[in-house]
Structure 1
Amino acid sequence: MSAAAASSASAAPAPAEPAASTAPAPGDGDDGCDHKMPISPDEIAVYRYTPEGGALSLIVKHGNWGCAPKDSDGAPFETVGKETYIPMDQAAYITVTDPIVESTENQPMGVQEFLDWLDAHPDRGLVFKYHLGADGAIDRLEEEFTP
């Protein structure tokens, strides 16, 4: 693991700077959406993982749920900032939904099975709620179902 990656993995990543506002231009009307929502403290978009240096880390982006267009079923998770690394416990409790498994209810999945799925489907950016253990590594990862 590079020094920069090791530094990022040793502490919980700081929230990234918010992206430029996508608020409507004057005269476009108010869409009723708060475009300056804070970054979610316990949700991340997971892209890949790295086992460099013998430690497992997820490669993620922080963000928050954006505003849903009037004709949509749900709001998108809007990521901000650069990808960061968060260490993950090899014995983490993981639950997943569609598209990883064919279910709208969270199903338990082993860490290695999850890593194999990430290898086969990199850069999907699926949203997970996470919890850090006392050692600063993810000990619980629960996929957020998005239709």
Structure 2
Amino acid sequence: MVEPKISAQAQRKIEIMLTKWTGKLTWEALVTKVELELAIKTTRQTLCTYVGISTSYKNKKAQLRGVSPSLYTKITASDVKLNEQIGHLKAEVEVLKKNNAEQLRMIERMLLNANDIPNLDLYALVKRRSEEIQVSKKS
């Protein structure tokens, strides 16, 4: 079995090195620092093959440019579709809230107007109808 060119421990050290990095970050500078501090002679192409190192490099590079790692992630077509769906659902919720508020105002207005009618029993207005009672028994 072939041993990896860079051990897991060395990968962690390189990731830590990237996390603490200050100043301009380039693959060439990273390769030089790895060779000087860890005595590992490597290339940019080799470092890129390690997911942890590559991700740490991209995140640090983005951070140094002023972009947070969460904004650096790739946006896929499904993300765009989900975002459109969220926008649609938010608009639908707003319309439903508006309709609900209008209907509640109408019911209140009807009850207040009915209250002004003499000898009208408000409980008779809100009692359950025979159709509703039959439906609830079937359920």
TM-score scaled to structure 2, two decimals?
A: 0.18
Based on CA coordinates, which of the two structures has the bigger radius of gyration?
A: 2
TM-score scaled to structure 1, two decimals?
A: 0.17
The higher relative CO (CA closer than 8 Å, separation ≥ 6) is in: 1
* Structure with the larger helix share: 2
* Structure with the larger strand share: 1
